[in-house]
Amino acid sequence: MYGELQVMANNNGADAANSQGTSSTKWMAISADDGSYITPDGSGTTANSVKLDIVSGHIQWSKTITTRNKDSDWPSCSFAAITCDSTISDAAKLVLQCLGMLPYKATDLCAKAGHQCWFRNLDAERAFFSGGGWYVSSYGLASFYGTYPRSISRTYIGFRAAFVKLPTA
């Protein structure tokens, strides 16, 4: 939401019982201070939340946004170029790494795969699609595409299901 990263905690988005609508209370921002999930304010300006800033043409996670896209901008950077500024705690970095939004170490990735990431922080909402694409050689498993709204439908967008409801004892 306007550059503020919001997610559904604990992979709740994979469970059809949880609404993914724009007004769903399941959407949570991430605290830059301690990595906990916090209730967003609905305008992308939640205090102390993790936000997508653009610094020198790459993603930098921060509490504040200093550079926004222009309408005609569709920037991208390699996954290895994504960083955090000093306002992002180690705990919040770990959450970003677990979500596949921040590399553990840039050298861990296969350089030939590209791992290109596209992003926008100007719009009210952008959905991030993760993983490789069959039609672009710069896609790798660490790639993500965050330029489309949730309404997008394309043949090249797929997913890997990750939710399983385990039986109770």
**What is the per-residue pLDDT across 77-92, written as a single tens digit (0 to 9) for each?**
777 888 899 999 999 9
Q: Identify the pLDDT of residue 90.
A: 96
Q: What are the pLDDT digits (tens) for 111-154?
A: 555 677 777 777 777 666 666 555 555 565 666 666 666 666 66
For residue 60, is pLDDT > 80? yes
Q: What is the mean pLDDT of residues 158-162?
A: 52
135 vs 123: CA distance, rounded Å: 26
Summary count for the chain: helices (H), strands (E): 1, 10
Query: What does R_g of the chain's alpha carbons equal in angstroms?
Result: 16
For residue 48, is pLDDT > 60? yes
Nearest Cα neighbor of 68 from 146, 148, 127, 2 is 2
Q: Identify the pLDDT of residue 91.
A: 96
Q: Is 63 helix (H, G, I), strand (E, B) or coil?
A: coil
Whole-number average pLDDT of the chain: 78
For residue 105, is pLDDT > 90? no
CB 93 within 8 Å of CB 102: yes
φ and ψ at 29, to 5 degrees? Answer: -85, 170
Give the CB-side neighbour count of residue 168, counting CA atoms within 13 A: 0
Question: How would residue 23 be classed by pLDDT, with cut points 50, 70 and 90?
Answer: confident
For residue 55, is pLDDT > 80? yes
